[in-house]
Amino acid sequence: MTVTAASFFASAYGDRDPREAGALSTRITTATGPKEVVLDPPNLRVKVLGLPCADLDDPVIQGLAAGLDDDAVPCTKLTVYAPPEEESAWVRRGFLKEGEIRGYFADGIDTHLWARYGGDGRDEAPRDGEHDEICLLYTSDAADDWLGGWG
C-alpha cells in the first residue's frame, strides 16, 4: 500500500503549514534499514539519504515520487543520496543524475545524487541553449583569435 505524499507531510508537520514551518528531518524504515528523509517545503524538495535503488518500491518513497505532481504537496523535486550503483537502474526509474559527493557517507563511500521532478518544468535548464552557444564559440577558430591563444 502506497503512502501518499500529502499524508506523509501531514504526519510530519501536524497542524503546522509546511510552507511556513520550514525544513524538518524524519526517519523511515525501508527494506534495507532506516533512512533519513529531509522535508524542505521552502525549497520545494524532499531529500532521502542513503537510499539504494532497490528501495524505490518502498510505499513512502512511491508516495513521495507520486506526490511531485500533486498541488497539495509542497515539493516538486525528490533527491536521493544513494550509494554507488548501476546508473541505468536509476534512469529506468525516471531519475536524473545530478552529481557525486566523494566520501559523503560515514564509512567514506561516495554518494550519487539522483533527482526526480514533477511536471512543473523545474528540471528544465532555461540557459541550456546559451551554454551550447558559448561552448561552440569557445571551440571555434574565432574564439582562438579572440582569446589570443589562451583558449
pLDDT digits (tens, 9 = 90+) for 34-64: 999 999 999 999 999 999 999 999 999 999 9
What's the whole-number average pLDDT of the chain?
A: 86
11-27 mean pLDDT: 91
Q: In this predicted structure, what is the pLDDT of residue 71? A: 86
| Prediction pTM value | 0.77
Residue 143: its H or E element:
helix 141-147
Q: What is the Cα–Cα distance from 6 to 74, expressed in whole angstroms?
A: 9
The sheet carrying 111-117 orders its strands as 24-30, 33-40, 45-49, 77-82, 111-117, 96-101
